[in-house]
Homo-oligomer: A and B are copies of this chain.
């Protein structure tokens, strides 16, 4: 979880490493970070069921009330924890060629989703959307829509470049490209190898006349 300690508030002079016990000028950044780290540490260690507000507070060395003050549920904590990592980690590359972009990005996406801590949090959050419709809306707005926008980038850039026809339904085509990948990762649990992502890309290239 060091990825977040990098962004820790260096406190304008390093002097404030000492314990914070509340003040009248805003919330404790220290507490915020500790909570987010505790949350996904717990997720990785003990699974979703092992994440409890009680446990997060205990591990973060924080009062339960401090968690409840800023997040309505443990799932929202996990969402915040995830959002800090996602944006930087799941960006498709831009080589100026849609085929190359896809052949690079799809395996990377599969790896991220299935084999990293970030992916574990993502899978847990997607799962939670099925158990809690209210969270589903929040999750889609704050996380999933952005991810889908990123997933569409290779195609949209290719359209702008003229590599693909201007009237291509990039949203639908993207779903055809990444859908089977998400399906394997999130539903069947089957491993997604190079040959599978290549098959996805090949099918796409063939039906758009690029191969």
* Contacts from A to B (Cβ < 8 Å): 47-49, 123-124, 126-133, 136, 140, 144, 148, 172, 175-176, 178-184, 186-189, 196, 199-200, 203, 206-207
Whether the pair B129, A128 counts as a contact (CB closer than 8 A) is no
| A172→B175 CA distance, assembly (Å) | 16
Known contacts A172-B199, A176-B200; is-contact A188 B130 (Cβ 8 Å): no
User: Is the CB–CB distance between A183 and B179 below 8 Å?
Assistant: yes
Q: Are B131 and A49 in contact (CB under 8 A)?
A: yes
Q: Are A183 and B178 in contact (CB under 8 A)?
A: yes
Among A47, A128, A148, A179: residue with most chain B CB under 10 A? A179
- CB-nearest residue of chain B to A125: B130
Interface of A is mostly: helix
Contact A175 B180 (CB under 8 A): yes
- Whether A189 pairs with B124 at a CB distance below 8 angstroms is no
- Chain B residues with CB under 8 Å of A126's CB are 127, 130, 186-187
**Which residue of the partner chain B has the closest CB to A126?**
B187
Contacts of A131 in B (CB 8 A): 47-49, 124, 127-128
Contacting residues, chain B, for A127 (C-beta < 8 A)? 126-131
Instruction: Give min CB distance, A6 to chain B, whole Å.
Output: 28
Nearest CB in chain B to that of A199: its residue: B172
Residues of B within 8 A of A200 (CB): 176
